[in-house]
Structure 1
Amino acid sequence: MHFLTSVLKSIEPRVDDDFVDRLNYYYTTGVIIMMAILVSAKQYAGHPIECWVPAQFTKAMEQYAENYCWIQNTYWVPFDDFIPQQIDDREERQIGYYQWVPFVLAIEALMFYVPTSVWRFMNAQSGINVLGVLELATDPRNIEPQNRLYTVNVLSRHIDDALRYQREYSRRERSVYLWAFVRIGKLYGAYVTLIYCFVKSLYFVNVFGQFFLLNRFLASESTAFLGAGVIMNLLQGIEWQNSGVFPRVTLCDFDIRVLGNLHRHTVQCVLVINMFTEKIFLFLWLWFLILAFLTFANLLYWMLTVLIPSLRVAFIKRALDMSDAPPDSKKDWKHLSNFVDHYLRPDGVFLLRMVSNHTGNMLCNELIFSLWTRYREMHKMPKAAVLVDSVDTLNKQQTMANERSSFGPSTPTGEGGEPPASRSTTPLSNAGKVFTTPKNFSTPPPPPSMTRQAAKPIKEPPLTSARPRRKQKGSDDEVVQMQFV
């Protein structure tokens, strides 16, 4: 039971892909598995074939004939044609696919799941925790401003560390012979991007290959291409009696030894299972056609938007234009290309596009501006200096909270006069599942709204004369400070 639960859990969709990926490996796989179960139930729990046998056959002989014809294959001859006399001519007309329909459907479902397995395995070797970044970015509690700032700070730290590691890797390995796909991607900062585009290509190749698999497995001599032939027959009013595609009535030959002599019997059988098989594979053919167009368009979209430098720069510039950029940062637009090409590189832009697709523009724009601020500070400070947090709003809020607590501010109350419950420091979760911060993340201290701080005791000053000072304009409650002399 635990193994089955783990298998089902591994099939569940994750956030480190897009909707077209889930159409391929999740929804299509689920539909094909359901169809395989339906056909299997009809075959092994029902009566997939019924044969018209001579009157002298007993019930056991009838059951034997039906089982033999189901296993040994049947052949189709139009009602207006004569039954061929030669055994070889009959064997050329045999229909041998109906027994294997559930197994072929299971293989198709497995083929649709292979690309996402490749993506998850190779993505784990990238050094960029794509799944962790997107799970943290899509947490529903990020709708609160302080939590969103905290999330942006955590994500910008992790992305900055991962991109710095890739840049150091490229400097170390520049003179080494690049023989592997992985090393090429890491050298040029496009490992995750190339892997994702490669997986997209696998999805398209898989869908395109499904057409040839169906045609090879099911098509007859009268149809050049299975789905197109069936649709044309339906539009022209050609029934299965004339087309031979998924025939309901077939013939079967079997020999019975009686007193040392062989007696050949030819019986007419009804393949009830072909009524279901025709509808199932016609639906799959049409669905694969739609899925092939969607997958190909999605592959072109990612290749153009992530691999073309001008489109990468345009995406980052548009995000910075919509962010709360300070006025002096407009002077640094000339360094934007260097920021995109040498700091973010393709993997950074790919990760930011994934965040934008899953969370919208607000959090993504703040994250891009945070990375842009880190880049500007990194080029203004010495190499040995430590990067300063791009999101200094958290520090300002912490300072203001400490100033208020030093003067003993009154505790805000909620409904009923009780203090409102502060947010727990439990790691963020996604859809009810606890999300633990990945090891690669260097988590900064959480914002004041996520922690419960103990109030510091106020030290009583000596009773001396005092003179009032002017009010500080920076505080919200206009606290009047007293300077004791």
Structure 2
Amino acid sequence: MLYPIIEAFGKLGLPGVRNDDFFDRLSRKYSIIIFGICFIIVTTTQFVSNPIHCFTQMVDSKYKIDYVNWVCWISSSYYLPFDKPLPNRNQSRPEKIPYYQWVPFILFGMMILFYIPGFIWRKINRNCGIDTKVITSIIADMDPLHSENRQDTMNMLVKQIDKALTYHRDYHHGFMFSTWKRFSCLSCCSLSQHSGNYLVCGYILVKLLYIANAIGQLFLLNIFMGQKFYLYGFEVLQKWFHGQEIKALERFPRITMCRFILRTFGDNIQPYDVQCLLPINIYNEKIFLMIWFWLAFVSIMSIYGLIKWLHYFTFKSRKNFIHHFLKANQIDCYSENTTHLNTEILPTFVDRYCRQDGILLLRIVNANATKVLVGELVCALWNHWQKQRQIRIDSLPQHTNNHKGKLLEDHDNNQLGLIPLTIPISIINDDRYVTLPPQEIHKDTLVTGDYDITDRPGLPTHLEVKDTKGHILYNKEDAIKGKFAFTTEEFDIFDVCFETKLLHGQQQHHLSSQHTTKQVTIHIKHGVETKDYDALAKANKLKPLEIELNRLEDLSTSIVSDFAFMKEREEEMRNTNESTNTKVLYFSIFSMCCLMSLAIWQVLYLRRYFKAKKLID
């Protein structure tokens, strides 16, 4: 008879499938089940049996006895040890025991408080678009025997996750957007769905709510129970260690005293003191002792779970998590077939494709499914990303035109090589200013350019090459055809600018005529490409094999230099990420301590306020 009710409480704490970890389920599921069982026991004892029995010699009928029992039940009683005399009528009575009538409501309220953080987490999941509950359910129900259905299901999941990760990227551009994006990355607390850490911030918030809920309920119980209830468990442990009898007579007395006033004929008012037995406190003592230890256990485990997840969110932990499953499935994540890139691609997959929310999703699936299925999902995501990445690489020509965008973000800035570029300049109104896409060049690198501009009488074109600091590296007035060269003093971004202006007095003529177009062709080389091996062969009388060996030697030196530069940048970025994550960890711990201190202060303040208003004793 009791099992269906307990199962109902279990379903209340477990809505559908799991979309969190064990530490969350301690609060969301198991706490609700435990408090639900206690709620049933106390409620049954109060409303089915007689919760109080009062002894008096003044009454001689059953109805009068019931009257005394119910009056003492609803008006509260007080505890008086047997070694103390009964106070006189004019003396004040000890503090009343205010809680035992409200124990079912207290337990029900605790169940509601443990349910709220899980409800908030489900709302965050729905708003995010990455429904961890649905994905975990599909993974958990996947048939391990039918390989075809299993593969189809896995492909469907990968497409859905890829869409969610793609839709949650921000494709805006501009100075204000880039400034806000840098600020959001440094703060690591952006709640925008396009930031890549929306789900992570929500999950940390929910874990903080679980911690505040478990600790706060100890102090809320102290308000209702009194007698410094937050020290109850420590006192029991102290008595147990010293071999003393564990009693809680002052907090949960079995025998109490009750005073009530009885009006008889006329204006005769008589106060009476009766002795009452509270058998329900036998259950209350054991229940609230268990609740104290359970809340302490849940608080400690929730804090440990938060620290553990904060460690999971570090870049090193995220990379190791993905690498573990890729290595277990014999996938080499440090090499690729294409020759366009020669760097580690695992950090790109972790930090720019999956981002924080994608790793959190995989972590939650890993906490609720077998590692074999999680490994298959990670490998399927990896292979899908590699295919899409290879398609983008193959769609570009061998000599990449910068007008088509970057090949892969931040991976090919130093692999530009020979750049043949032809752009039209259309003269509209009085002038036209055109800037080539900026080029990132290494330190101490020779850069050469060969340009050819269509000659139009009356339409001079000025060529200018400058760096980000405004230094003019090359300037040519009325440029038609020529070359330029310079050596970079430091790693920087360089702009090649063309400007065409109408001569004075020709503006009205050109406004009334058709648009005039000038064609600009420019070839930019840097590094190894600037070396003329044909001239070197003629000067030194080298054989073709020797020329090729020189070319390979220079190319190898360039590749080693590029690798060293990329390694330095990667180490710098990694150190920045780890430093930021450490700062966020300390800030989160500090915020948690502040919230806990604020919660304790609020509880103490409310207790003092309720006492001042005579709402509690």
Q: Normalising by structure 1, report the TM-score.
A: 0.70
1:203-262 CA-partner distances (Å, limit 9, x unpaired): 1111111211222222426x6712223444566535658x51201111111111223111
2:278 alignment partner in structure 1? 271
Q: Which residue of 151, 157, 160 corresponds with 1:158?
A: 160
1:85-105 CA-partner distances (Å, limit 9, x unpaired): 366731x42111100000000
Does residue 316 of the first structure (1) align with residue 322 of the second (2)? yes
Q: Which residue of 229, 245, 255 corresponds with 2:251?
A: 245
1:292 maps to amino acid: S
Return the structure number with greater relative CO, CA threshold 8 A, min gap 6.
1
- 1:300-449 correspondence to structure 2 within 5 Å: 300-305=307-312, 307-325=313-331, 329=335, 334-382=344-392
1:130 maps to amino acid: T
Q: Which residue of 166, 169, 191 corresponds with 1:167?
A: 169
When Rg is computed on C-alpha atoms for both structures, the one with the higher figure is 2
Deviation at 1:329, TM superposition (A): 4.0
Deviates more, 1:93-102 or 1:6-15: 6-15
1:113 maps to amino acid: Y
Whether the aligned pair in 2 keeps the contact of 1:304 and 1:311 (CA below 8 Å) is: yes
2:132 alignment partner in structure 1? 130
1:225 alignment partner in structure 2? 231
Q: Which residue of 70, 74, 82 corresponds with 1:71?
A: 74
The CA distance in 2 between the partners of 1:327 and 1:360, in whole Å, is 22
Deviates more, 1:117-126 or 1:349-358: 349-358
Q: Which residue of 191, 194, 198 corresponds with 2:198?
A: 191
Give the total of aligned pairs: 378
1:58 alignment partner in structure 2? 61
Whether the aligned pair in 2 keeps the contact of 1:230 and 1:245 (CA below 8 Å) is: no
Deviates more, 1:284-293 or 1:373-382: 373-382
Q: Secondary structure at the match of 2:256?
A: strand
The CA distance in 2 between the partners of 1:232 and 1:46, in whole Å, is 35
Deviates more, 1:295-304 or 1:278-287: 295-304
Q: Secondary structure at the match of 1:125?
A: helix
Whether the aligned pair in 1 keeps the contact of 2:19 and 2:133 (CA below 8 Å) is: yes
Deviation at 1:342, TM superposition (A): 0.9
The CA distance in 1 between the partners of 2:281 and 2:73, in whole Å, is 12
Whether the aligned pair in 1 keeps the contact of 2:28 and 2:115 (CA below 8 Å) is: yes
Q: Secondary structure at the match of 1:263?
A: strand
Whether the aligned pair in 1 keeps the contact of 2:259 and 2:274 (CA below 8 Å) is: yes
1:424 alignment partner in structure 2? none
Note closer, same or farther for the CA distance 1:182–1:232 as it changes in structure 2 (3 Å cut): closer
Whether the aligned pair in 1 keeps the contact of 2:35 and 2:111 (CA below 8 Å) is: yes
1:266 maps to amino acid: D
The CA distance in 2 between the partners of 1:10 and 1:266, in whole Å, is 45
Q: Which residue of 109, 117, 123 corresponds with 1:107?
A: 109
Deviation at 1:279, TM superposition (A): 0.7
Q: Normalising by structure 2, report the TM-score.
A: 0.56
The CA distance in 1 between the partners of 2:21 and 2:144, in whole Å, is 20
1:137-179 CA-partner distances (Å, limit 9, x unpaired): 1114134433332222111111111111111367696567999
The CA distance in 1 between the partners of 2:148 and 2:270, in whole Å, is 87
Does residue 298 of the first structure (1) align with residue 298 of the second (2)? no
Q: Secondary structure at the match of 2:82?
A: coil
Note closer, same or farther for the CA distance 1:164–1:60 as it changes in structure 2 (3 Å cut): same
Whether the aligned pair in 2 keeps the contact of 1:152 and 1:363 (CA below 8 Å) is: no
Note closer, same or farther for the CA distance 1:8–1:31 as it changes in structure 2 (3 Å cut): closer
The CA distance in 2 between the partners of 1:244 and 1:126, in whole Å, is 51
Whether the aligned pair in 2 keeps the contact of 1:122 and 1:195 (CA below 8 Å) is: yes
Whether the aligned pair in 1 keeps the contact of 2:52 and 2:278 (CA below 8 Å) is: yes
Note closer, same or farther for the CA distance 1:383–1:164 as it changes in structure 2 (3 Å cut): farther
1:393-443 CA-partner distances (Å, limit 9, x unpaired): xxxxxxxxxxxxxxxxxxxxxxxxxxxxxxxxxxxxxxxxxxxxxxxxxxx
Q: Aligned-residue CA RMSD in angstroms?
A: 3.2
Whether the aligned pair in 2 keeps the contact of 1:169 and 1:187 (CA below 8 Å) is: no
Whether the aligned pair in 1 keeps the contact of 2:31 and 2:114 (CA below 8 Å) is: yes
Note closer, same or farther for the CA distance 1:233–1:214 as it changes in structure 2 (3 Å cut): farther
The CA distance in 2 between the partners of 1:85 and 1:184, in whole Å, is 64
The CA distance in 2 between the partners of 1:240 and 1:10, in whole Å, is 35
Deviation at 1:61, TM superposition (A): 2.0
Q: Secondary structure at the match of 2:262?
A: strand
The CA distance in 2 between the partners of 1:319 and 1:146, in whole Å, is 22
1:481 alignment partner in structure 2? none
The CA distance in 2 between the partners of 1:97 and 1:131, in whole Å, is 39
Deviation at 1:6, TM superposition (A): 11
Note closer, same or farther for the CA distance 1:327–1:71 as it changes in structure 2 (3 Å cut): closer
Q: Secondary structure at the match of 1:85?
A: coil
Q: Secondary structure at the match of 1:159?
A: helix
Unaligned runs of 5+ in 1: 386-485
The CA distance in 2 between the partners of 1:206 and 1:359, in whole Å, is 28
Note closer, same or farther for the CA distance 1:224–1:88 as it changes in structure 2 (3 Å cut): farther
2:108 maps to amino acid: A
Q: Which residue of 43, 64, 74 corresponds with 2:46?
A: 43
Does residue 16 of the first structure (1) align with residue 22 of the second (2)? no
The CA distance in 2 between the partners of 1:328 and 1:308, in whole Å, is 20
Whether the aligned pair in 2 keeps the contact of 1:148 and 1:363 (CA below 8 Å) is: no
The CA distance in 1 between the partners of 2:70 and 2:333, in whole Å, is 83
Deviates more, 1:153-162 or 1:56-65: 56-65
The CA distance in 2 between the partners of 1:146 and 1:228, in whole Å, is 58
2:424 alignment partner in structure 1? none
1:36 maps to amino acid: F
The CA distance in 2 between the partners of 1:247 and 1:192, in whole Å, is 49
1:19 maps to amino acid: F
Q: Secondary structure at the match of 1:47?
A: coil
The CA distance in 2 between the partners of 1:87 and 1:148, in whole Å, is 82
Whether the aligned pair in 1 keeps the contact of 2:334 and 2:344 (CA below 8 Å) is: no
Q: Secondary structure at the match of 1:225?
A: helix
The CA distance in 1 between the partners of 2:289 and 2:316, in whole Å, is 43
Note closer, same or farther for the CA distance 1:155–1:182 as it changes in structure 2 (3 Å cut): farther
1:407 alignment partner in structure 2? none
Note closer, same or farther for the CA distance 1:167–1:277 as it changes in structure 2 (3 Å cut): same
1:437 alignment partner in structure 2? none
| Identical columns (%) | 31
1:339 maps to amino acid: F
Q: Secondary structure at the match of 2:170?
A: helix
Whether the aligned pair in 2 keeps the contact of 1:142 and 1:151 (CA below 8 Å) is: no
Note closer, same or farther for the CA distance 1:83–1:365 as it changes in structure 2 (3 Å cut): same
